[in-house]
A = this chain, B = another copy of it.
Amino acid sequence: MSQVVTTVAELRAALAALKPARIGMVPTMGALHDGHVSLVNEARSRATHVVVSIFVNPTQFAPNEDFDAYPRTLDADLKTLDDRAAIVFTPTAREMYPEGFATGITVGGPSTGLETDFRPHFFAGVATVVAKLLIAAMPDIAMFGEKDYQQLLVIKQLVRDLALPVDIIGVPTLREADGLALSSRNAYLSTEERGIAARLNVILKEAIAAARTSGDLRAAEATAIEALWKAGFAHVDYVAIRDAETLDHITALERPARILAAAKVGKTRLIDNMAV
């Protein structure tokens, strides 16, 4: 008689005679900076070998966004990685989306609101490409920056829902001396814009302090939004204090919370977030 198993875990155990080495993956869009290097280093500390993917994924950009302008610096990226990565995966768009490609993955839950309000197709593009990258490499762990906090939660939901056999590890945001979160898009900023950009993290810290003191989360958000406009941001998409695990709306700081923000300096859209 057959062995009958009821859970994915049992099934996997029954199938497992696999993979001797532990593989860590760091999916990126290239233009690598110290934030990416910290992801790679974290992967190295947890896995035997590291695979870094570099792919500027067209399907997560809207037509009016910066897909064409997005920095592509492969030679420098390879130098940065040096022998930190065992394998660098640099697929073409045609390799990822072959002729006639017709499959889409959508993730509900934490994708609701925030970035989705301003980039409605963003997370479907991210979920599909990340699923493909994870299926392609089948790593044991994969690292994602907390800088893209909503994306991190969406990917955790995706991986849990599809039971992809990979642990998703969030890595804390790296910051400049003045607190600006490292981002490949910081390369777009003029000197003047760079000065304005540095205010984002300061204003979020002030909002956290205000939320903690007053307990009025909506007032803290409103004050931060006003402060960003006054600091010279060209547009404030949102400042929101949410449940840190689900991104659900909250009215009090009873469980772990996160403040998330998106705002434009000139034409450059910056995002940031912090634990409250």
Q: Is A63 an interface residue (CB 8 A)?
A: no
The answer to whether B107 touches A12 (Cβ under 8 A) is no
Q: How many copies of this chain? A: 2
Identify which of B15, B19, B107, B132 contacts A23 (C-beta below 8 A).
B15
Determine if A78 and B6 form an interchain contact, defined as CB atoms under 8 angstroms apart: no
A1-52 CB contacts (< 8 Å) to partner B: 1-8, 11-12, 14-15, 17-21, 23, 51-52
Q: Give the complex CA separation of A91 and B8 in angstroms.
A: 8
* A98 is an interface residue with CB less than 8 A from chain B: yes
Chain A interface residue number, banded: 35 or more
Contact, CB under 8 Å: A105 / B104: yes
Minimum distance in angstroms from A124 CB to a CB of chain B: 10
Q: Give the chain B neighbours of A3 by CB distance below 8 A.
A: 86-88
Interface residue A69 (Cβ < 8 Å from any Cβ of B):
no
Is A158 in contact with chain B by the CB < 8 A criterion? Answer: yes
Interface string of A62-93 (1 = CB under 8 A from B): 00000000000000001001111111111110
Interface residues of A (CB under 8 A from B): 1-8, 11-12, 14-15, 17-21, 23, 51-52, 78, 81-92, 95, 98, 100-109, 127, 131-132, 135-138, 157-158, 160-165
Q: List 16 A-B contacts (CB under 8 A).
A: A2-B81, A2-B86, A5-B88, A6-B91, A6-B95, A8-B91, A11-B136, A15-B87, A100-B109, A101-B161, A103-B106, A103-B157, A103-B161, A104-B105, A131-B162, A135-B162
